[in-house]
Amino acid sequence: MIQCIKDQRRALQPSVFIELQRFEEGRYCNESSLNAFIGGRADDYINLKDDVIHTPMEYKSRWLNGLKKAYSKSKDSRADPRHVRMHQLITGTYPNFKKYLSLFLEGSFLKHYEEHYKAKPKIDESEYWFGNNADEFGLLVTPRHVNNLWENDKSEIRHFKHPYWTLSHVMETGLCYMSENKIRSFSKLSDYLQFFRDVVRRSKSKYQLDIADRYIAYVNGHSNPLSIPILIPELRYDPFKNKHQHRLDLLVVNPWSLEKFGFEFSPWSTHGQLEGAGRSMSEYNKEAKEKFEAEMRKHKKYWRKYGVTYIIYTDEDLADMDSVWMEIKLHLEVSEEPAQLELALLSELS
């Protein structure tokens, strides 16, 4: 389809160049300069880093809307005159140029279709740091080490070829060590799963370990294991502070909607039980209130920073780990890829 569109464009070029010479003599008289004039505007008119675009028509509409907004600022002396030229060509009597532009935008959309149709994480949601006190691992999309810190190559996030936050993602990028220019990579999925279990085991939570073992068995029995979302253990809040405040037991990010679901195991023995004899009821109540406020503060912070939807399991829930696992597993199975354009059949109509 892309080649067919290119052939149609080239058939139009002689008449397009005649129109462009009439518009402004001596400008855009070859294919490369013409394509650069059109193609160089995409980042100006469309938010390619974040926008999800499903069809060529939608792509054209967003591009034209972006042009309209850029042209509306043309009275500003700092405005790019190329926006003005483009607007004049589209609104003037240049029919062949308009056909060429429409074909160019359609071809550009199809060429980068894999980048356009899927949701892309925002910059501040494109890395997760996790691990216990002695472990500091980062899961990024396009990691690079700059000025002794890890960051994403922002311009490349949308080009990432795997579904975000799946096992194929971590197998591609590996995990970053927070304070070192070093990446822990995994040659086999089984190596990553063993690493995952080791991180969970160090939490000393029998409930987390139970779910970790069920997750590993689920992955090993799956027909397409690399498509499964990562179960991120011990997600840190404010990981770069000298002492991070909170850790979330487990996190799942839907690869397609990017919705975040957190799972917290809160047995009374570690999250509510009060100790110490010989105290007044008011002292017990004060400590109970402080514990409750601290726990709720943690949940609210994860919601405000990451937008995590929380599921909290208390002793009554944890008595039935089969049910807990089934609920978590639902969030591993709903990550279906959004419907794509039926390109094969569309080509039959072109």
Q: pTM of the predicted model, to two decimals?
A: 0.75
pLDDT in tens, 42-84: 888 998 888 889 889 999 999 999 999 888 876 665 667 888 8
Taking the C-alpha atoms of residue 172 and residue 240, their distance in angstroms, rounded to an integer, is: 24
Strand locations in 111-180 (E): 127-130, 137-140, 143-146, 149-152, 175-177
> With b meaning 16 or more CB within 10 Å and e meaning fewer, what string describes 249-274?
bbbbbbbbebbbbbbbbbbeeebeee
Nearest to 138 by CA among 153, 148, 155, 151: 151
pLDDT of 294 over the 70 cut: no
Which residue, chain included where needed, has tokens 């139970």? 210
Contacts of 146 (CB under 8 A, 6+ apart): none
What is the 8-class DSSP label of residue 55? S
Q: If you average pLDDT over residues 169-192, what whole number do you get?
A: 96
The pLDDT-based confidence of 341 (bands split at 50, 70, 90) is low
Chain segment 133-165, per-residue pLDDT in tens: 778 899 999 999 999 999 999 989 988 999 999
Question: What residue has token string 């971590």?
Answer: 170
Tell me the CA end-to-end span of the chain in Å, nearest whole number: 8
Contact 273, 281 (CB under 8 A): no
